[in-house]
Amino acid sequence: MKSLAAIALAATAGVSLFFAAPAVEAGNYERVPAARLDIANDATVETAVFAGGCFWGVEAVFERVKGVKSAVSGFAGGHVINPSYRQVTRGGTGHAEAVRVIFDPRVVSYAELLQVYFSVIADPTQLNRQGPDVGEHYRTAFFPMNKAQDKVARAYIRQLGAAGIYNKPIVTRIEKYRGFHNAENYHQDFMVKNPNHPYIVQHDAPKVRALVRLFPAKVS
C-alpha cells in the first residue's frame, strides 16, 4: 500500500493509482447510542477539532452535517508550527491529521457531532492507525476547546466503553488543544474535487453513505 503522502502527491500530478485493499462497505457502520451528557450552548458559533485518520473522510462527513458551517483539513496536537503535509506524514512532529469544525450548536451539538464521529468516521479501537493508514499522525483524538467539550467527550467515551459497544477498548485520546494548522489547499474539499479518486471511493465515500443512512435528519 502506498503511503497517503504518495497518494496525495500523485493525485495532484494526475497519476492513476490502484489499491489491493478491499473496499469498505457502508453496511459495516452502526449507529452508536447518543451521548447521555449533552451540554447546551446558546451561542451561534462553536469550534471543535477532531482527528480520525485521513482528514479527507473526516472533513467529507462533517461538512455534510446540518448545522456545520465549515470543515477544514489540517493538523493538531504537535509541536511544530505550520507543518507541511510531508513533515507530518514522515512522523516526528507529534501532529495528527485533524479537521476543524465550525458549527451552530443550536442546530447540532458537540455531543451529536461525537455520535456521528463514533458511528461513521473512525474506529476508536485502532491505535495509531485507521484502516490502511498507519502511524501516530493517523490516531483518533479530540482536542476540546473548552471545559464543556472536555467533559462531554470524556463522559461519552466512558459511556460507550461501559456499554460494551466495541469488542476492544477505546483508545481515542483527549489531548490539550495547542492550535490548529491548515493543510495545503489541495487537501481542502478533496472528496468534492476528486470523487473518483481510488482512496475516496474505497475508504471515504462509504462513510458519507453511512451518514445519510444512519442520520438522515442530520444531513444538510
**Looking at the annotation, which residues are catalytic?**
54
Amino acid at 185: N
